[in-house]
Structure 1
Amino acid sequence: MNGTSSTKGIFELGKAVLQAEAQAICHLSDTLNENFIKAVQILLACKGRVVVSGVGKSGHIARKIAATLASTGTPAFFVHAAEAAHGDLGMITKEDVVIAISYSGSSSELLAIVPTIVREGTPIIAITGSDSNPLANHATVNLNIHVEREACPLNLAPTSSTTVTLALGDALAVACLDAKGFGPEDFARSHPGGALGRRLLTHVKDVMRTGDDLPVVKDSASVLDAVKEITRKKIGMTAITNEANEVVGIFTEGDLRRLIEKVGDIRPISIASVMTKHPSTTTADALAMEAAKVLETTLRNQLLVVDKDNKLIGALHIHDLMTAKVI
């Protein structure tokens, strides 16, 4: 192997690329000016959608910025500049805001659609590598992401410039997120299929066991009756209720093992005399992740679900939460 393809050379080059891109981001942070504030204000005032556009590597970055904006409370979508010139320009209205990305500021595809966007009265936020270029000159505001050198050893492949553009897009999205008071619940609604969405949108009523799957015996039952119910319902416990269907206790397989070790013959024992009184409960409208915290705190695998009058309406096993991917 020669110098750059040796193990040491590969490692050093990797570090150099990361350092170069990190330095470029730090430089952008130091040179960020009032144009960033203007851009955020334009985005916050947008009554339509934010349309992010670019070509080549800038197009890939534009697509990601649009996705980040959309998932953080600023409706946005990506339009390829070349496609815009062949019909997709009709997707852009005067109620929208266009973020146009071109490091050179001279992308022919973008410049071909800029006059139409300007005539429509749609604000343009340009992201370019200088303050003076054709795209910046037509923009409502220009964000300068100039980098001294690309991380590519040849100073050719867009590397530092695309990284800085992506970071700037994140900064715009987060600034808008904060200004709008966008919180975890809002984020969850945008990501219902993700882990956070499941934790913040899944309620106990969505995963609890009810009806014939709900193990329950009356407080007048025997321990043997309770054991049969536990066996039938396969949840490792049974709830105990009074005649008014109010929860008065719980009896688990663990309680059964301890009872057998203590007394041996369980047949003459009433469930009311050995059940755990005042068991932990939750409500159907509680978040499933809150129920998970109760189970963790109490070191139990099952939880009873009651209504406002302490009447039994459901039961929850830790496996139910795992199946729903809440935990």
Structure 2
Amino acid sequence: MSITTKSAELECNTEGGCDAIELVITPRSTDLGDFSVRRTLPNKERQMVGPWIFFDHMGPADFPADKGISVRPHPHINLATVTYLFEGEILHRDSLGSKQTITPGDINLMVAGKGIVHSERERPEVNGVPHRLHGLQLWMALPEEFEEIDPAFYHYPSRDIPAATIDGVSLRVLIGDAYGLVSPVKTYSDTLYIEADLQTGQRLELANAEERALYVAKGQLKLKDKVINQYDMVVLSEAEGVVIEATQDSRIALIGGKNLGPRFIEWNFISSRKERIEQAKQDWLAGKFPKVIEDEVEFIPLPK
């Protein structure tokens, strides 16, 4: 993992407003077997941005026939997962009985609460031919008062996600509210997740949040005189009027929201209480979590 840090420096001008870069993170590559992901959060310098505690960029990965995503059933507690695809599809199943194909532009929100198990596979008609997968997977911590709620699953098709064109820039408010748009996706605290596509030379003033970070999924940007390269995440201060400019055709994700305080994280378990994670580990070893419906045989063992 490569991490560049500097103290927040506030710079202002009449054209670009003010910007404050607190931290620049270059993700580390994590091998998942048939493909690898770029993992930006958590890292040793920054655990969370708002409620967001996990940020993976999957692909773009090209698979031959009979190869692809096949993540066996595994558990989560005290968090919510968000899956968002640019290309390809994933078949989600969980212990509530949910069975949902995720396609580009959809939002899949799985709320683990007191405990859920899910798998991520592919439909046979997808897996049986050459195919591509590209997208983001994020986890958000739940506020302490919601950590032990009943698990739930919500699917929002692409057509239900609000979109707008701001100064020529196409953007979507996936979670939260910004630019006069309000997402229908359920939240448990102040949460922000925006995607935007900028053509070379286009500029966009970023929405504000208590905490926020900008990720460049494709292309290259300038923030004042600072170049932000593809796959970099820039953690920003609360400065208003932050304007980015695309030096290449670019796709960005802006995440953020309310600071929920630190969390413990081990394997797939996140909680405000370390003893809760220990309990979840023992429950998984003892087979006390529910089974994924229609995917009851395989599972991922607890790492030693």
More helix by share: 1
Mark the structure with the bigger radius of gyration.
1
TM-score tier, shorter chain, comes to under 0.3
More strand by share: 2
TM-score using structure 2 length: 0.25
